Chains A and B, each alone.
Chain A
Amino acid sequence: MPTPARCRLTVALSAATLALGLTACGSTESAPSVAEPDWDALSHDELVALAEEEGSVSVYAFTSRIASIEESFEATYPGIDVVAADISSTELITRLASEHRAGSATADVAYVSDAPVVVTELLADGVLEPYVPQRVSAALPTEFREPLVANRLSTKVLMYNEEAHPDGPPVQNLWELTEPAWTGRVMMVDPNVRGDYLDLVTEMSLRAEEMAQAYQAHFGREIVLDEGVEDAGLQFIADLYANDAVLVDDTDTVNSSVGTLGQASPPVGFTSYSDRRDNEDEGWALQVASGVAPSPGIVFPAMLGITANAQNPAAARLLIDYMMGDDSETGGAGFEPFYVAGDYPTREDVVAPADALSLEDLDAWSIDPQASAERRSEVADFLLTIQ
């Protein structure tokens, strides 16, 4: 019985939104005046010439470092004005989707994290389109060319206080964190509140087999799942919560809690490896728990895409090309703001910054945005049941 009523309400409401949408559309659907050039066939100079004709490019970015890109890009290509807005990934995704639906003015380029949400909210609806500069294509592993090109990787990994544990990580296996010695002393940002931490937990579930092997290695017996727990990854997080893991609302709180100097028995926590660069500045002793089995955490991409109705398609491509870095060892000016120890370039021909473990030595799981997108809402639901 409730179904027809609900349908009627839905119809009425969608009629209302449709009416609003219709008046909005008609006017902006501009037919492409010229046939799109074959972008991949253009030489760099031809692309620059087209881009200079357009004269500007608008970008939404999830990081304020886009301001230095704006500066250096404009210095390199004086004829092209970069208009940069930095907003959080969540808001960026909502904004792009809403603008796409309304047919309103929008950005040309999006620089965005939260890859699994991008896959479901933007790529599925055709809001963003990929562009891989041919120049760098060969140096990029497939997973960083699809579904969108990625220019760098960030991390959420287990970190500890180096001052309190000068001999290396206090744990060798993630499962140790579920034992009494670590009760109330493991910190992370609530994965029901921040997407990148949900990705971390989702990856544990996707890597359930490795989690099960690590369990066997640590406890010397095969894992037995609790009722209602689907896999070893989720069992780990359930045991971690049951061991009074401390949840907070932002990464900086984890950093200062774990890292602050002068603590007798500091907690450990999941945070960004690159925040280690603030150690001296902030009086921290953060260090990554490398070698912990099965893995200290995840690496995930920051991706670049072009909007479906980009007003400045050539300048947009030029900006992406620029942000992929030049052919020097460090990626040059276009990659400079992202060349940070603890983050990683996706290009195999760019040498990762010193002062941090190599990507191989870090041995973190690289997330697969598509697989993650399919799994993460179930994981979020599971987390709600084990509060």
Chain B
Amino acid sequence: MTSTRSRASDTARRPIVWLAAGVIAVLAVLVAAPLAGLVARTLDSDADGVWADVFSSPLSANLLWQPLTNSLLMGLGTGIGATVLGAFLAWVVVLSDVPGRRVIGVLAAVPFALPSFAIALAWESVFRNDRLGGTPGLLSALGVAVPDVLSWGAVPTVLVLTAHYYSLSFVIVSAALWGVGGDLVAAAELTGASRLRVATRIVLPAIAPALLSGFLLAFAEGVSNFAVPALLGLPVRFQTLSTRLYGAIATGDAARGYALSIVLVVVAGMVLWAGNRATRGRSFETITGKASRPRRVVTGAWRWPLFCTASLLVAVTAIVPGIVLVVSTVLRRTNSFSGGFTWHYWLGESDSSIAQGMRGVLRDPVVLSALQNTVLLGLAVAVGAGLLGLLGAYVVRRIVRPPLVGATIGFLSYVPFLIPGVAFGAAFIALFGAQIGPLPSLYGTFAILVLAGVAASVPFAFQTSRAALGQVSGELEEAAVLTGASGPRRFGRITAPLVSRGVLGGGVLVFVTMVRDLSLVVLLVTPATPLLATMTYRFASEGFTQHANAITVVIATISVVATIFARRLSDARPTGSTS
């Protein structure tokens, strides 16, 4: 028996070497090459002494150390806050009997679909004090003296980032909770275990990989976000590494900006290492083959308090920013009620007295083709990144030796957020700008946008897949080896269906990022492929805020529809239906 087992597991492992080589090759081109380009730029002769400037000069304090401290604060605060909120809402939606949980489930995925500046704007509309002049927020208008610490700097920044990114943990943890079989919980309860004991000994360990993945994503997003600290931090000179590195690039000192982003990559690598170390050597396998629906917890007297807390959370983070965003598109004057309301920015014909004659966005002939391109790009990238992330996570999970392989894949799949979009674009032009041997140049094609998108969004796919795979017992596959099933067949018929809910969740996150985030592809888009995000940029850069926000509403709508659609899809196919 033992020898059969070990031979079987040997066989299961062999093709993995080839798969590992393939995944690493793809990641080397898509992620490692841009990263190497980044490093090279900071070391070449033009960059004279950029590392000395950063680490050991009179500038270091304000260029590196203070912003680094703030970034870590934002990253950890966002990571922890987002994980707690996301996990709580996931529990309410998947495992509790709280009323309205389906609606809460839809709304909990919305904040990530909104641009982070919309949530910051919502914060300002309530808490903005008189530090800037102009139109004060609601509280100030009511005569409440709002202290700077609530209006600007670390506190609002971390709260807004948490409100934006808890959706990540929510998506990943709810997929994981679906995988905690009701029979497991029921069995534990039969042994007389208390509810707390079930929670801490069974449920919590089962979702630990998901909690870690959610934390890692929120951390990386928190430290790399530029819009929120720029909007809410700068007025009190609160700088993070992202505002510093963006500023350096924007003022023409790219080498310095790239050096700071390498610092971020290294820091993120250390956080990743620490996170993996904390969970190493433990097993979180809860899916052992038998499918069973999750068992709902009867919350009794807690039902309504839980309902209130959960709905307040989604109301504040999804509905209020959503309303602020929508209202901002029908205000005659930018972010001010003084001019009344109008549909002009959506539907109006060109009128020289409004917005320098810009017509409404729905009258713009480009908007339809941009919409089409955007959805197409989102789908293509979601499929590509989903596949790469799933295969990568599968390799990391299964491969034992050499340990460096797993670590390399894990690292390269984690850091793309931290590479500035401009640097990504420049690297892709260098890689694919001209023809390579017999391959034609990809530059200016749709394909290069997809490749760049996959590179930049693979962290979502990898982390969600990793969390999902962490629950699936390896014994399942080994059993299949005994039946003589081939490697791809085992993966396709056993592992893939078991993790489909998690992978689908990751795909949605990728899709949502792709449709709204411009910085990833800004250097690669051509006039031939207009995207909604480029339109937003075009309007915003000329001060046509309402037009820009109207396009943003369109983007958010697409994202929400995609999220709901994916939920339908995964509800229709209950996880683990292998029997």
Residues of A in contact with B (beta carbons under 8 Å apart): 6, 9-10, 13-14, 16-17, 20-21, 23-25, 27-28, 63-65, 83-88, 90-91, 93-95, 97-99, 101-105, 114, 116-117, 120-121, 184-185, 187, 190-195, 198, 246-249, 251-253, 256-263, 266-267, 275, 277-278, 281-283, 376-377, 380-381, 384-385, 387
- Name which residue of chain B comes closest to A189, CB basis: B234
Known: A94-B422, A114-B252, A283-B336. A17 touches B430 (CB 8 A): yes
- Bound together, the chains give a CA A168 to CA B153 distance in angstroms of 35
13 contacts between A and B (CB under 8 A): A13-B36, A17-B40, A91-B522, A93-B252, A94-B422, A94-B523, A101-B430, A102-B433, A104-B433, A193-B246, A253-B132, A282-B336, A376-B252
Measured between C-beta atoms, what is the minimum distance from A88 to chain B in Å?
Answer: 6
Known: A98-B429, A102-B430, A192-B251. A91 touches B523 (CB 8 A): yes
- Bound together, the chains give a CA A112 to CA B109 distance in angstroms of 40
The answer on a CB contact under 8 Å between A282 and B334 is: yes
Measured between C-beta atoms, what is the minimum distance from B45 to chain A in Å?
Answer: 9
- Name which residue of chain A comes closest to B443, CB basis: A104
- Bound together, the chains give a CA A140 to CA B430 distance in angstroms of 38
Known: A13-B40, A63-B542, A193-B247. A87 touches B131 (CB 8 A): no
The answer on a CB contact under 8 Å between B434 and A102 is: yes
B59 beta carbon closer than 8 Å to chain A: yes
0 or 1 for each of B335-365: is its CB under 8 Å from A? (1 = yes): 1101100000000000001111000000000
- Name which residue of chain A comes closest to B335, CB basis: A256
The answer on a CB contact under 8 Å between A90 and B249 is: yes
Measured between C-beta atoms, what is the minimum distance from B58 to chain A in Å?
Answer: 6
- Bound together, the chains give a CA A160 to CA B215 distance in angstroms of 46
- Bound together, the chains give a CA A171 to CA B431 distance in angstroms of 54
- Bound together, the chains give a CA A253 to CA B234 distance in angstroms of 12
The answer on a CB contact under 8 Å between A23 and B62 is: no
Known: A86-B538, A104-B429, A283-B339. A195 touches B133 (CB 8 A): no
B235 beta carbon closer than 8 Å to chain A: yes
Residues of B in contact with A (beta carbons under 8 Å apart): 33, 36-37, 39-40, 43-44, 53, 58-59, 62-63, 66, 131-135, 230-231, 234-235, 237, 239, 243-244, 246-254, 333-336, 338-339, 353-356, 422, 425-426, 429-431, 433-437, 441, 443-444, 522-523, 525-528, 537-539, 541-543, 545
The answer on a CB contact under 8 Å between A10 and B333 is: no
- Bound together, the chains give a CA A125 to CA B243 distance in angstroms of 28
Measured between C-beta atoms, what is the minimum distance from B443 to chain A in Å?
Answer: 5
Q: Which residues of B contact A185 (CB under 8 A)?
A: 133
The answer on a CB contact under 8 Å between A377 and B243 is: no
The number of inter-chain residue pairs (CB within 8 angstroms) is: 207
The answer on a CB contact under 8 Å between A252 and B543 is: yes
Known: A120-B252, A256-B334. A83 touches B40 (CB 8 A): no
Measured between C-beta atoms, what is the minimum distance from B209 to chain A in Å?
Answer: 35
Q: Which residues of B contact A277 (CB under 8 A)?
A: 356
Known: A187-B132, A275-B543. A377 touches B43 (CB 8 A): no
Q: Which residues of B contact A278 (CB under 8 A)?
A: 543
Partner of B134, one of A63, A120, A257: A257
The answer on a CB contact under 8 Å between B338 and A385 is: no
- Bound together, the chains give a CA A21 to CA B237 distance in angstroms of 41
Partner of A257, one of B37, B58, B133, B542: B133
Partner of A23, one of B436, B525, B545: B436
- Name which residue of chain B comes closest to A26, CB basis: B434
Partner of A13, one of B43, B354, B425, B538: B43
- Bound together, the chains give a CA A94 to CA B37 distance in angstroms of 14
- Name which residue of chain B comes closest to A92, CB basis: B523
Measured between C-beta atoms, what is the minimum distance from A48 to chain B in Å?
Answer: 23
The DSSP consensus for interface residues of chain A is helix
- Bound together, the chains give a CA A253 to CA B66 distance in angstroms of 25
The answer on a CB contact under 8 Å between A283 and B338 is: yes
- Bound together, the chains give a CA A94 to CA B249 distance in angstroms of 10
Most A CB atoms within 10 A — which of B66, B235, B437?
A: B235
Partner of A90, one of B422, B444, B542: B422
Most B CB atoms within 10 A — which of A91, A103, A105, A190?
A: A91
Q: Which residues of B contact A384 (CB under 8 A)?
A: 59, 62-63
The answer on a CB contact under 8 Å between A266 and B542 is: no
Known: A10-B40, A94-B425, A195-B250. A64 touches B59 (CB 8 A): no
- Bound together, the chains give a CA A114 to CA B251 distance in angstroms of 9
- Bound together, the chains give a CA A102 to CA B334 distance in angstroms of 42
Q: Which residues of A contact B338 (CB under 8 A)?
A: 261-262, 283
Measured between C-beta atoms, what is the minimum distance from A236 to chain B in Å?
Answer: 18
Measured between C-beta atoms, what is the minimum distance from B533 to chain A in Å?
Answer: 12
Known: A91-B422, A249-B231, A380-B253. A387 touches B135 (CB 8 A): no
Measured between C-beta atoms, what is the minimum distance from A173 to chain B in Å?
Answer: 22
- Name which residue of chain A comes closest to B439, CB basis: A23
- Bound together, the chains give a CA A253 to CA B435 distance in angstroms of 45
Q: Which residues of B contact A252 (CB under 8 A)?
A: 334, 543, 545
Q: Which residues of B contact A249 (CB under 8 A)?
A: 230-231, 234, 243
- Bound together, the chains give a CA A6 to CA B499 distance in angstroms of 45
- Bound together, the chains give a CA A263 to CA B132 distance in angstroms of 12
Q: Which residues of A contact B434 (CB under 8 A)?
A: 23-25, 27-28, 102-104
The answer on a CB contact under 8 Å between B252 and A117 is: yes
Q: Which residues of B contact A259 (CB under 8 A)?
A: 134
Partner of B234, one of A95, A97, A190, A266: A190
Known: A247-B234, A281-B354, A377-B253. A105 touches B443 (CB 8 A): yes
Q: Which residues of A contact B251 (CB under 8 A)?
A: 117, 191-195, 198, 376, 380
The answer on a CB contact under 8 Å between B133 and A95 is: no
Most B CB atoms within 10 A — which of A6, A13, A86, A387?
A: A13
- Name which residue of chain B comes closest to A252, CB basis: B543
- Bound together, the chains give a CA A94 to CA B425 distance in angstroms of 9
Q: Which residues of B contact A28 (CB under 8 A)?
A: 434-435
Measured between C-beta atoms, what is the minimum distance from B516 to chain A in Å?
Answer: 18
The answer on a CB contact under 8 Å between B133 and A260 is: yes
Measured between C-beta atoms, what is the minimum distance from A274 to chain B in Å?
Answer: 10
- Bound together, the chains give a CA A260 to CA B243 distance in angstroms of 27
The answer on a CB contact under 8 Å between A84 and B527 is: yes
The answer on a CB contact under 8 Å between A193 and B430 is: no
- Name which residue of chain A comes closest to B441, CB basis: A104
Q: Which residues of A contact B62 (CB under 8 A)?
A: 384-385, 387
- Bound together, the chains give a CA A266 to CA B133 distance in angstroms of 6
- Bound together, the chains give a CA A281 to CA B355 distance in angstroms of 7
- Bound together, the chains give a CA A281 to CA B353 distance in angstroms of 8
Measured between C-beta atoms, what is the minimum distance from A71 to chain B in Å?
Answer: 12
- Bound together, the chains give a CA A372 to CA B339 distance in angstroms of 41
Q: Which residues of A contact B237 (CB under 8 A)?
A: 247, 387
Partner of A24, one of B43, B334, B354, B436: B436
Q: Which residues of A contact B431 (CB under 8 A)?
A: 20
Known: A91-B522, A281-B333. A121 touches B252 (CB 8 A): yes
Q: Which residues of A contact B354 (CB under 8 A)?
A: 281
Q: Which residues of B contact A282 (CB under 8 A)?
A: 333-334, 336, 339
What 5 pairs across the A-B complex have the smallest Cβ distances? A104-B433, A102-B433, A117-B252, A249-B230, A24-B434
Q: Which residues of A contact B525 (CB under 8 A)?
A: 85
- Bound together, the chains give a CA A20 to CA B522 distance in angstroms of 22
The answer on a CB contact under 8 Å between B523 and A95 is: yes
Measured between C-beta atoms, what is the minimum distance from B461 to chain A in Å?
Answer: 26
- Bound together, the chains give a CA A261 to CA B235 distance in angstroms of 21
- Name which residue of chain A comes closest to B334, CB basis: A282
Q: Which residues of A contact B422 (CB under 8 A)?
A: 90-91, 94
Q: Which residues of A contact B36 (CB under 8 A)?
A: 13, 16-17
Measured between C-beta atoms, what is the minimum distance from A386 to chain B in Å?
Answer: 9
